[in-house]
């Protein structure tokens, strides 16, 4: 059935699946900027991975600076008690030495968050112990101890990780304060410390909000740069990138790879008879249907006009033909609502399977294009396999 043939009324209900706005991948579609409290799990993991990568780059600089700051507190120790300052300096130096292994990734094979936790716990626990040794140190040193909470808030976007970092120093501070200070000073200090932790938690949440907003904007810009604005399919440049990557994997590891090239039959007649707006809706319906039929590892893109390409990794000849036939059949069942009644359209499909004769992506695409030409020549609305090389 060609594109200009009008289907019976029984198919009218199918047009609801074909109408709609340009597509976006399901994960991106849920990434609304107004929803800053939760992201789908893949997006959440990607955002944390991005933050961890940035922290990984800064840690070799920020870690030693944090350690240097711990050592410089010895100046404050000397003001309180010059005699005890030598002992606190030794304690601080030991703590910085113990934590310095986490400054650089090659020393400890831990995640960046665990390395930050190690640095924070060793350094701040030493700071609290030094304050305990010095006379009135837990009173005068509370500001420095509490300020470290804000440093911890910079190291993660996750509240559980933040709580894990603060757990040991907080317990140590509470126990030593209850042991050393009068109850009124102890309660006052604990209230101030709790207030600081609350402020640091708020700062973490604000940082997460800005990080999430920045991440979502980056993802949307990336999506716009890689996808066709009308249909949401991969644009030609991005499709060639992923296709060349899949072809390189197939060549290097002996993996299977297939390509299916689709072209809408008599699409010019659709535009001429029904108008370009209807033609655009046909293109959108085609992309929506194909993306729904394909696997997550498959790639679907628009070469231009009414020509589309499916890149099918890990797919042999038989599976590629079944996939192409499934797409052809599903598209033939769609109906687009028009002022003249529902519109059916069909596609012709050329399939090529990677073989030794395909030195590069253009060669594989060329074979799929030749198979598509044969499908058109043989009567359209059919699937044709390219000759094996």
Return the top range by mean pLDDT from 54-68, 107-121, 285-299: 285-299
Note if the pTM is more than 0.75: no
Q: Is the pLDDT of residue 3 over 60?
A: no
> Does 107 score more than 50 pLDDT?
yes
Is residue 95 a contact partner of residue 125, using CB atoms and an 8 Å limit?
Answer: yes
Sign, CA dihedral 191-197-203-205, equals: negative
Residues of the chain with CATH 3.30.70.270: 232-385
Long-range contacts of 40-48 (CB under 8 A, 24+ apart): 43/215, 43/219, 46/215, 46/219, 47/157, 47/211, 47/212, 47/215, 48/157, 48/158
DSSP 70-94: HHHTHHHHHHH-HHHHHHHHHHHHH
Q: What angle do CA 325, 328, 334 make, to 5 degrees?
A: 140
> Between these two residues, 258 and 106, which has the higher pLDDT value?
258
For the domain spanning 232-385, the CATH number is 3.30.70.270
d(CA 367, CA 208): 49
What's the Rg (C-alpha) of the chain?
Answer: 32
Q: What region does 266 belong to: left with phi over 0, alpha with psi -120 to 50, or beta?
A: left
The pLDDT value given to residue 163:
95
- 15 or 364, greater pLDDT: 364
Nearest to 236 by CA among 244, 227, 245: 227
Would you state the pLDDT for residue 23?
36
- Asked whether the predicted pLDDT for residue 35 surpasses 80, the reply is no
| Residue 389: band (very low, low, confident or very high) from pLDDT cuts 50, 70, 90 | low
User: What one-character-per-residue DSSP string does 344-383 give?
Assistant: ---EEEEEEE--TT--SHHHHHHHHHHHHHHHHHTTSSSE
A 10 A CB-CB count for 27 gives: 15
Give the pLDDT of residue 324: 95
Over residues 98-112, the mean pLDDT reads: 83
Which residue would you say has higher pLDDT here, 109 or 372?
372
What's the rounded Cα separation, in Å, for the pair 338 and 277? Answer: 10
* pLDDT, position 28: 44
Which among 3, 1, 15 has a CA at the least distance from the CA of 267? 3
- The alpha carbon of residue 343 and the mean position of all alpha carbons in its chain are separated, in whole angstroms, by 38
Q: What is the rounded distance in angstroms from the CA atom of residue 238 to the CA atom of residue 224?
A: 11
- pLDDT reported for residue 376: 93
CA proximity to 374, closest of 383, 363, 361: 383
For residues 312-328, average pLDDT? 95
Per the DSSP assignment, residues forming a β-bridge with 257 are 313
| DSSP for 260-294, written as a single string | EEEEETTHHHHHHHH-HHHHHHHHHHHHHHHHHHS
Tokens 């072809």 belong to 247
Selected residue with higher pLDDT from 194 and 219: 194
**pLDDT band at residue 103 under the 50/70/90 scheme:** confident
């Amino acid at each position: 059935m060609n594109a200009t043939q009008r289907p019976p009324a029984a198919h009218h209900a199918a047009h609801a699946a074909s109408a709609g706005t340009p597509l976006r991948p399901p994960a991106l579609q849920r990434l609304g900027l107004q929803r800053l409290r939760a992201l789908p799990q893949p997006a959440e993991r990607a955002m944390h991975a991005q933050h961890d990568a940035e922290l990984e780059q800064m840690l070799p600089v920020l870690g030693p600076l944090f350690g240097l700051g711990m050592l410089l507190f010895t100046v404050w120790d000397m003001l309180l008690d010059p005699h005890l300052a030598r002992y606190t300096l030794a304690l601080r130096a030991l703590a910085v030495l113990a934590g310095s292994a986490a400054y650089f990734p090659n020393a400890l094979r831990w995640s960046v968050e665990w390395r930050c936790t190690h640095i924070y716990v060793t350094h701040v626990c030493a700071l609290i112990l030094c304050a305990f040794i010095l006379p009135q140190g837990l009173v005068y040193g509370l500001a420095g101890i509490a300020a470290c909470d804000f440093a911890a808030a910079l190291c993660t976007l996750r509240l559980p990780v933040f709580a894990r970092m603060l757990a040991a120093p907080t317990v140590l501070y509470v126990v030593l304060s209850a042991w050393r200070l009068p109850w009124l000073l102890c309660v006052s200090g604990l209230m101030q410390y709790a207030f600081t932790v609350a402020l640091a938690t708020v700062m973490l949440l604000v940082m997460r909000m800005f990080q999430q907003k920045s991440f979502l904007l980056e993802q949307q810009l990336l999506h716009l740069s890689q996808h066709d604005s009308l249909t949401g399919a991969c644009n030609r440049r991005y499709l060639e990138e992923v296709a060349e990557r899949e072809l390189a994997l197939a060549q290097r590891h002996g993996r299977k790879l297939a390509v299916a090239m689709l072209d809408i039959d008599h699409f010019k007649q659709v535009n001429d008879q029904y108008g370009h707006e209807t033609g655009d809706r046909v293109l959108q319906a085609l992309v929506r249907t194909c993306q729904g039929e394909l696997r997550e590892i498959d790639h679907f893109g628009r070469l231009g006009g009414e020509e589309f390409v499916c890149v099918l990794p890990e797919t042999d000849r038989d599976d590629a033909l079944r996939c192409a036939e499934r797409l052809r059949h599903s598209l033939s069942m769609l109906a687009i609502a028009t002022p003249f009644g529902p519109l059916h359209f069909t596609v012709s499909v050329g399939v090529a399977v990677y073989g030794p004769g395909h030195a590069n992506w253009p060669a594989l695409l060329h074979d799929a294009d030749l198979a598509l030409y044969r499908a058109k020549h043989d009567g359209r609305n059919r699937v044709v396999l390219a000759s094996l090389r």
